[in-house]
Amino acid sequence: MKNGNFLDVMAIPLKYNLRNLVVRRVSTLMTIGAIALVVAVFVALMALANGLNSALKTTGSPENVLVLRQGSQTETSSGVSKEAFQVIQTLPGIARDREGKPMASAEGVIIVNLPRRSGESTNVTLRGVSETAFAMRPGIKLVAGRMFRPDIGEAIVSRTVADRFSNAALGQSLQLGKRTFAVVGVFDAGGTAFDSEIWSSINDVADAFDRSGYSSVLVRAENVATRDQLVNRIEAEQRLKLEAKPELKYYEEQTSTSGPIRGLGIFVAIIMGIGACFGGMNTMYAAVAHRTREIGTLRALGFSKLSILTSFVIESMILALIGGVIGCLLALPVNGIATGTMNFRTFSEVAFSFRITPDLLVSALIFSLVLGFIGGLLPSRLAARMPITRALREI
């Protein structure tokens, strides 16, 4: 290596940039503040979409198969006759419970309109189930009260329903259809879609809403490997005119519900990001203008154009990264806040919580670095291209 090249490749110490940020602290703080706000909004909106997605994605057991009427998109628009249910139960490949009965639950799913505690009313899913339903969904745990007894108008509600709706707390009673249901228990479904539901026995629900058939049937395959065979077997029964799909898949198809929120998050983040970029550019241009003489001196000392460019871009990225970290911290408190929205597929409420994941934080920091890079690039190029003589002449 020739001697002269030594400074060409040497980088300007980071300390130079950090100290510069401190020197013009008011301007630095305001820029950091703007970037922090952008990142915070991005994280909060994405946490909303994440929470909704994970509520739907984690719903269902891998062995379970959901049976619907052909062409139905959702349980609410489906119908399965009592005769069909009898036929399904006789099919081979269905798991059996301890007593040797086939694990198949006839379910009646009805959307009911209930008033929230805040006054407005919204649609809630009421699910009537057979007794086997709980063995098939082991994720559902009673947290208060007791299990409902079938056929006498008792119901259990999810914790979110108990908290969010009037008359839905333990010990109260709900008027559903033409019957009154006593709330005897509260369950927790581990953050899945069932956490937005009210459960009772299938006969009570059918009676309250004058239904002669069922909405859907949930069956459990002997194991995950034979699940798809069971799906085929049900669909092969031509006379049933039914459609079967893995329970996991059914809920995964509903994740499109979070699309608009995700879209909103990206839209807002990009637009605010552009705004913050312009603001950041202003700051960096001012920084370059203030340091014209310094830049000239650095160049005269032998630092290359590339070193100057890199140094300024890094400075801008540090600025943005600090903003990004603060933004993440600002958004963290929303994690876990419970909320709800309408599931566009079923037109009923799905409850979920804001969910901030490590992945999300990493992408937020990358986003802030990108903002810093774009905002710093043009001003840094200006700094790097400055002729040494002119820079040194400047007062």
∠ CA 13-16-18, nearest 5°, is 110
Taking the complex as a whole, how short is the minimal distance between the CB of residue 33 and another protein, in angstroms? 5
Residues 213 and 94: their CA atoms lie apart, in Å, by: 22
CA distance 49 to 288: 40
In the complex with another protein, the residue whose CB is nearer, 86 or 256, is 256
As measured in angstroms, the least distance from the Cβ of 365 to another protein is: 18
Cα–Cα distance measured from residue 101 to residue 187, given in angstroms and rounded to the nearest whole number? 25
Q: How far is the CB of 313 from another protein (least distance, A)?
A: 17
Q: Which is nearer to another protein, 271 or 306 (CB)?
A: 271
Beta carbon nearer to another protein, 31 or 311: 31
Cα–Cα distances in angstroms (integers) from residue 137 to residues 4, 14, 346, 365, in the given order: 73, 56, 20, 38
Q: Which two structure tokens, joined as six digits, stand for 372?
A: 């810093």
| Rounded Cα gap, residues 95 and 81, in angstroms | 22
Cβ 122 to another protein shortest distance, Å: 5
Give the 3-state secondary structure of residue 373.
Answer: helix
The rounded distance, in Å, linking the Cα atoms of 350 and 12 is 54
If the CB atoms of residues 69 and 233 are measured against another protein, the closer one turns out to be: 69
CB of 62 to another protein, least distance (A): 25
What sign has the CA pseudo-torsion 336, 340, 344, 348? positive
Please identify, using beta-carbon distances, which residue of 93 and 128 lies nearer to another protein: 128
Q: Which residues are at the interface with another protein (CB under 8 A)?
A: 26-27, 30-31, 33-34, 37-38, 40-41, 45, 48, 69-74, 76-77, 110-113, 120-123, 176-178, 209, 241, 259-260, 263, 268, 271-272, 274-279, 281-283, 285-286, 339-342, 344, 347, 349, 395
Nearer to another protein (CB atom), residue 275 or residue 387: 275
Of 120, 122, 104, give the one whose Cα is nearest residue 112: 122
Smallest distance from another protein to CB 253, Å: 10
